[in-house]
Amino acid sequence: MDGTRVISMALTLAAILVGLLGAAVPQAHAADVQLLQRDLAGLSYAPLSGVDGIYGSQTTDSVRHFQRDNGLAVDGDAGPATMAALTAKVKQVQSKAGTSADGDYGPATLSAVRAYQSAHRLEVDGIAGPQTMGAMNIDRITSSGTGASSDTKLLQRNLVGLGYLASGGVDGIYGPATKDAVLSFQSDNGLEVDGIAGPQTNAALTAKVKQVQSKAGTSADGDYGPATLSAVRAYQSAHRLEVDGIAGPQTMASMGIARELGGGSSGGESGGSPSTPPLSGSIRDKIVQAARSQLGVHEWNNNCNPYGPCEPWCALFASWTWRQAGINFHTAFSGDFYYYGRNHGTLHSGLSNPQPGDAIVFGSGPQSPSTSTHVGIIEKAYADGTVDTIEGNASDQVMRRHFNPATRGAYAIVSPSGA
């Protein structure tokens, strides 16, 4: 009987001990989860109200979103690789905001980011969302897709094949060059211009590659591999085109494939060709001279213009002026200027230091045509903070305007690279 009591007491004590140890695990786990949630909320992947220490569906979805943006395995599990990438991104924000870079987006970081936002005329909420990170020159989207190298290489082969990415760019790493190529393809094909090769972008890219493959007489499998390169070279040779295997603008035109589909409802093809006087001086001088030469040019019919398709054309005009100065940039969407500045390091902090030749973008942000509504070219900047601009699609023509950027709803000023 006594032996039974001893055994019973031992089992009871063991159960109590296991219970106590088990209770400590969720508390430690909750602290780790709260750190994860603070960092996700600080980078605008989750609401601040979601910092509760519970790894529920909202946190899982937020982790997946961050993983997609950073080329990680998209499984919703904040493992070592995800935590390392998230901590590194938070430390970048902290360094730019002038606070201790400890990787914990706590109250001190919120306060420092608010001060940064106030000093740079941004929305003051303490959250390092897309606009704040853009002003800080921190790349929010560093990768895309599933995070698998083989998927990224397929994407890159197709971008190379269509002339959006250099031939040496097939490395399985979704870096800045690949993202720039995706942005250009999205802009040309009327897709959301976010640099993310999601399902819609991949479907459009695959479809375009299949069109090229069909015209070149090879298997239309959507993979611009060696067989497609060889078939396109044969097509180019037969049609007296440059033989490089790349379906760039000339080859696609010869094949009768539309390279640019535009981003809005079109009234048909535009006509005419802008004429410019000889341009001289710096890149900025040439941009301004090109813009001035177009003052008074009117659209016709429904948004038809000399700079591109019959669609809203302020960005077509602005990017046309940059190309006259040798800047290889073409877009029909004003928000693309923001992404250009972010990717090339020429995005001004807030609306600071406007200079002739810069693009000035209006609206609330670069996410879509409904948030990024207009763009113009700065002709002259004055000491009182006002500017003169030359803008296309302004009252259906190219015209000059004078205003203070802070009071007209501008959200970004972007310089051309190398200016």
Domain positions in the chain are: 2-97+108-118, 149-255, 283-414
Q: What is the pLDDT of residue 141?
A: 66
Least confident of 85-94, 122-131, 223-232, 279-288: 122-131
pLDDT at 19 over 70: no
CA distance 303 to 314: 10
Q: What is the mean pLDDT of the chain?
A: 83
HEC profile of the chain: CHHHHHHHHHHHHHHHHHHHHHHHHHHHHHHHHHHHHHHHHHCCCCCHHHCCCCCCHHHHHHHHHHHHHCCCCCCCCCCHHHHHHHHHHHHHHHHHHCCCCCCCCCHHHHHHHHHHHHHCCCCCCCCCCHHHHHHCCCCCCCCCCCCCHHHHHHHHHHHHHCCCCCHHHCCCCCCHHHHHHHHHHHHHCCCCCCCCCCHHHHHHHHHHHHHHHHHHCCCCCCCCCHHHHHHHHHHHHHCCCCCCCCCCHHHHHHHCCCCCCCCCCCCCCCCCCCCCCCCCCCHHHHHHHHHHCCCCCECECCCEECCECCCCCHHHHHHHHHHHCCCCCCCCCCHHHHHHHHHHCCECCCCCCCCCCCEEEEECCCCCCCCEEEEEEEEEECCCCCEEEEEEEECCEEEEEEECHHHCCEEEEECCCCC
pLDDT at 168 over 90: no
Q: Which of 59-68, 78-87, 104-113, 274-283 has the highest mean pLDDT?
A: 104-113
283-414: CATH topology: endopeptidase fold (from Nostoc punctiforme) (3.90.1720)
For residue range 98-155, list pLDDT tens digits in order. Answer: 999 999 999 999 999 999 988 887 778 899 987 788 778 777 766 554 445 667 889 9
Q: What is the pLDDT of residue 268?
A: 36
Q: Are 233 and 248 in contact (CB under 8 A)?
A: no
pLDDT at 181 over 90: no
Same fold, 2-97+108-118 and 283-414: no
pLDDT at 208 over 60: yes
Pull the structure tokens for residue 7.
Answer: 């055994």
Q: How confident is the model at residue 319 (pLDDT cuts 50, 70, 90)?
A: very high
Q: What is the pLDDT of residue 161?
A: 95
pLDDT at 28 over 50: no
Look at 267 and 182; give whichever has higher pLDDT.
Answer: 182
Q: What is the pLDDT of residue 202?
A: 87
Q: What is the pLDDT of residue 66?
A: 87
Percent of all residues in the chain with a pLDDT value above 70, rounded to a whole number? 87
2-97+108-118: CATH topology: Muramoyl-pentapeptide Carboxypeptidase; domain 1 (1.10.101)
pLDDT at 22 over 70: no
Q: What is the pLDDT of residue 16?
A: 44
Look at 102 and 81; give whichever has higher pLDDT.
Answer: 102
pLDDT at 51 over 80: yes
Rg from Cα positions in the chain: 27
Look at 122 and 44; give whichever has higher pLDDT.
Answer: 44
Q: What is the pLDDT of residue 29?
A: 64
Q: What is the pLDDT of residue 331?
A: 86
